[in-house]
Amino acid sequence: MLAPAVPKSWYLPSKPHKFCPGCGHGIVLKALGEVIDELQIQDQAIFGCDIGCSLLAWDFFACDSTQTHHGRTTPVMVGIKRSRPELTCIGYMGDGGGYSIGSQHLLNAAVRNEKVTLILVNNTNYGMTGGQMAPTTLPGQKTETSPYGRDPETTGYPTMGPEFLAELTPDSAYIARATVSKYKQLKKYLKSALKNQMEGNGFSFVEVLSTCPTNWRTNAQQSWNFLEDEMEKYFPVGELKNPLGKGDK
């Protein structure tokens, strides 16, 4: 039997990976691995992981990698980029780490147009701590800290990350929202986000809509339905800013 084709930049001793079956992280990381290969940046990439499920990716790549703190991946990546601009910094985080505890860093890094690439995986809940409400939890969605369903009256509406970051950044920034259900598009966005950093343009950000069957308690069909029917309707997929060429919004 032929071994499945895996990106050259994957770190094989850490495979099979540790994400739950049906988790979308694996798809994002496969796309990212292929992009790292295509751009030939394995030797210059620095991969930084937040705390949360994104942490399970910390030894995913054969790239120099570091774990950080919950919410603090953005400033750690900024510190590296400001000190060694020749490195390509990739911050990998979840919706809680990016939009909640790390939101001030995200916002200010965007305002300063920091030349780092941030990938934020949105699965509408805090996975690792057991399925609590996240900034991206949909209205009415039940979680461990919204056991009667998220009530926008008291907890607001889901954070629209790419939309608010697009407002804060100059035109040299790259901002997009992808989904694990559209692999080619996801890969294209990740590639653009990395190229934008490498060309020295500015802040580069991709939110990726993803699945969390373990905490949603959904089977394959239900997981996909939630992603495509609920999440993608609420969170529009597309490029909001693309200085590299024409967006496909």
Partner 1 sequence: MSFSINSTGRIIEAYIGEYASGKSEMAINRALDLKNQGRQVTLVDLDTVEPFYTLRTLKKVLEAMGMKVISFAREDSFGLGETGAMLNPKARWALMNEGDIIMDIGYGVQGAKTLNLVEGANESSELKILAVINGTRPMTDSKEKIREYLTELGRVDAIVLNTHLGDETTVEIIKMGNDLIQEVGCEMGIPIAYMAVNEDLHELVPAEKYAMQVKYIKRYMPGAMW
Partner 2 sequence: MPRIIGNPKKSFVTGNETAAWACLVAGADMMFGYPITPQNEIMHYWTRLAPKHGRGFLQTEDELSAGFTVCGSVQCGKKAFTATAGPGNVLMQEPFGMAEAMRLPLLAIIQQRGGPSSGTVVYSQQEVTLTTFGGNGEGMRIVYSTASHQEIYDYTIKGFNVAWKYRFPVFILGDGYQAKMREPLEMYDPEDRGIEMIKPYPLIGLEGKISAGREPQHLCNIYSLEEELYEVVMKVAAEYEALEDTIVEYDEKYCNDADIIIVSHGVVSRAADDAVKALRAQGIKAGYFRPITLRPYPRKQLRAAIAKSGAKKLLIAESAYGQLDRLTKQEIFGENVKIENLFKPGVGIIDYDIISKVKSVL
Q: What are phi and psi of 111, to 5 degrees?
A: -60, -40
| 138 to 177: interface string for partner 2, x by CB under 8 A | ------xxxxx-----xx----------------------
Q: Does 129 bind partner 2 (CB under 8 A)?
A: yes
Alpha helices in 84-205, H assignment, sequence order: 95, 103-111, 152-155, 161-168, 183-198
4 binds partner 1 (CB under 8 A): no
State the Cα–Cα distance between residues 204 and 198, nearest whole angstrom: 10
Q: Which segment (12-20, 56-64, 128-136, 237-245) binds partner 2 by CB under 8 A?
A: 128-136
Per CB under 8 A, 188 contacts partner 1: no
Sign of CA dihedral 66, 168, 192, 201: negative
Please report, as a single letter, which amino acid is at residue 50: D
Which residues ranging from 38 to 97 are in contact with partner 2 (CB under 8 A)? 51, 67, 69-71, 96
Contacts of 19 (CB under 8 A, 6+ apart): 25, 26, 53, 56
Q: How many residues does the chain have?
A: 249
10 Å CB burial of residue 125 (0-12, 13-18, 19+) is buried
Nearer CB in complex with partner 2: 1/148: 148
Residues contacting partner 2: total by CB under 8 A: 22
Q: Which stretch binds partner 2 (CB under 8 A): 127-135, 180-188, 200-208, 211-219?
A: 127-135
Instruction: Give residues 101-120 in contact with partner 1 (rule: CB under 8 A).
Output: none
133 contact choice in partner 1, partner 2, none (CB below 5 to 8 Å, kind-dependent): partner 2
User: Residue 56 or 194: which CB sits closer to partner 1?
Assistant: 56
- Are 147 and 156 within 8 A, CB to CB? no
Q: Toward partner 1, which CB reaches closer, 70 or 195?
A: 70
| Helix/strand/coil (H/E/C) assignment for every residue in 195-210 | HHHHCCCCCEEEEEEC
Nearest of 177, 210, 222, 230 to residue 20 by alpha carbon? 210
From the list 10, 189, 205, 216, which residue makes contact with partner 1 (rule: CB under 8 A)? 216
Instruction: Report if residue 132 touches partner 2, rule: CB under 8 A.
Output: yes
When asked if residue 214 is in the footprint of partner 1 (CB under 8 A), the reply is yes
- C-alpha gyration radius of the chain: 17
**Binding to partner 1 in span 13-42, by CB under 8 A:** 16, 18, 20-22
127 binds, among partner 2, partner 1, none (CB under 5 to 8 A by kind): partner 1
In angstroms, rounded to a whole number, what is the distance separating the alpha carbons of residues 147 and 164?
A: 28
Residues binding partner 1 (CB under 8 A): 16, 18, 20-22, 51-52, 55-56, 58, 67, 70, 127-131, 142-144, 147, 213-219, 222
